[in-house]
Structure 1
Amino acid sequence: MTTSRRERKKAATRQALADAALRLFLERGYDKVTVAQIAEAADTAVTTLFAHYPGGKEALVLGDGEERAAALTAAVRERAEGVSILRALHDFLARRGPFDPDPDPAYRSRTELVVATPALRAYARKLWTGSESTLAAVIAEESGRDPGDLSVRVLARYVLEIPDLASLEPDPRAALRTAFAHLERGWPEFSRAG
């Protein structure tokens, strides 16, 4: 599938805005950078920035959450034969943010910025928990449960709280493993391969 010139220009503008924002946030600190400064650094207007990123400064770093919901769904639906729902979700999270064992330097800097910046952490948590109904639906679908089942909804919420909770621990990867060990004990039916 080929993209039109207009779509390529929109993508280039989005990338220029995101790159400028991250560079400025890392240089000056998140709270010391305005959207006007970001727009100027990307050679665009503030209205263009908000047209591409209606979520504002936080969205420039973290996006709008659609990617998370789609990736969570894929992690559960496309898990290998013999892999449980909880194992698939653990493995998915283990490759993201502060849990990634070998991030490139740019990704590490971005992750450290998010973890150290209260506004970005709060926005990241909002994006994760905003995927609750999507994750609950795919867990229910893959396990043959009713999507309205409280147990399924609670499990989805707990999984989506893990990035915020575990990222602040001295060893985020160990915290991730601990959190999933508790979930596996509480929801053994989702710990078995299906």
Structure 2
Amino acid sequence: MTEPSVGRRERKKAATRQAIADAALRLFLERGYDQVSIRDIADAADVSTTTVFKHFSGKEALVFDQDADRESELVAAVRQRAAGQSIVDALRQHALDTWLPVAAHPQRDAFTKLVDSTPVLRAYAEHMWTRHTDSLSAAIADEVGVGHDDLACAALARFVLEIPALTRSRQDHRAAVEAVFDILARGWEPPGRPPASAA
């Protein structure tokens, strides 16, 4: 049976996009963000600069090439969770499934250093996370039937999105993620204090 041309075309497009993003990250890590041009990236990926701009809005977007996917996956984790599963538990599972592989990636430290040391990338990342917070907060609010300006929904979204920053320096990433979600699910208790006994 012949493979549909649309499927082939989409896969080729995705492969080109990934090749451009991979070439960009390699050059950024080797030379530094400001020392790499769009022309350099196009040459390294063996495409034209026009092709680069067909896939990415600019240099910053090349660094955060999975931004749109991450945002839609966060929203889907809430909206498409299993029947009976709480929002916090769905987000816990999503964080474990997506953040732990990122935390273990061999380029994670170099990538973090690149972003932290480049003001334009730090600003882009902050804007990106603000947008993710708004989208996730809105999805949570829709699920519980409150307005998009609900503070509790915004706080939960923000805490969830801070988990990578909060846990990346911990030796046991899984335990750290679980600990943060335990606080979100059950509330904060002072460290070392035994749980209050039932009345």
Identify whether the pair has TM-score above 0.5, normalized to the shorter chain: yes
Residue type of the alignment partner of 1:143: V
Counterparts of residues 152-171 of structure 1 (less than 5 Å): 152-171=153-172
Q: In 2, Cα distance between the equivalents of 1:96 and 1:186?
A: 24
Partner of 1:75: 77
Contact 2:163 2:180 in 1 (8 A): yes
Q: 1:132 to 1:2 in 2, by over 3 A?
A: farther
Partner of 1:41: 44
Q: Which of the residues 60, 64, 68 maps onto 1:62? A: 64
Q: Which of the residues 86, 91, 94 maps onto 1:92? A: 94
Q: 1:31 to 1:168 in 2, by over 3 A?
A: farther
Q: In 2, Cα distance between the equivalents of 1:53 and 1:127?
A: 15
TM-score by length of 1: 0.73
Q: In 2, Cα distance between the equivalents of 1:152 and 1:110?
A: 33
Q: 1:53 to 1:102 in 2, by over 3 A?
A: closer
DSSP-derived class of the 1:63 partner: coil
Moved more, 12-21 or 111-120: 111-120
Q: 1:101 to 1:161 in 2, by over 3 A?
A: closer
Partner of 2:18: 15
Pair 1:113-2:110 in alignment: yes
Contact 2:21 2:65 in 1 (8 A): no
**RMSD of aligned C-alpha atoms?**
3.1
Shift of 1:89: 0.5
Q: 1:169 to 1:46 in 2, by over 3 A?
A: farther
Q: In 2, Cα distance between the equivalents of 1:175 and 1:181?
A: 10
TM-score by length of 2: 0.72
Aligned length: 181
Contact 1:17 1:38 in 2 (8 A): yes
Moved more, 2-11 or 19-28: 2-11
Q: In 2, Cα distance between the equivalents of 1:100 and 1:3?
A: 31
Shift of 1:88: 0.7
Q: In 1, Cα distance between the equivalents of 2:144 and 2:90?
A: 13
Contact 1:73 1:134 in 2 (8 A): yes
Shift of 1:129: 3.2
Residue type of the alignment partner of 2:160: V
Q: Which is bigger in relative contact order (C-alpha 8 A, separation at least 6)?
A: 1
Q: Which structure: larger Rg?
A: 2
Moved more, 37-46 or 27-36: 27-36
Q: Unpaired segments of 5 or more residues in structure 2?
A: 189-199
Q: 1:3 to 1:95 in 2, by over 3 A?
A: same
Contact 2:96 2:177 in 1 (8 A): yes
Q: 1:143 to 1:163 in 2, by over 3 A?
A: same
Shift of 1:132: 1.5
Residue type of the alignment partner of 2:156: L
Residue type of the alignment partner of 1:170: Q
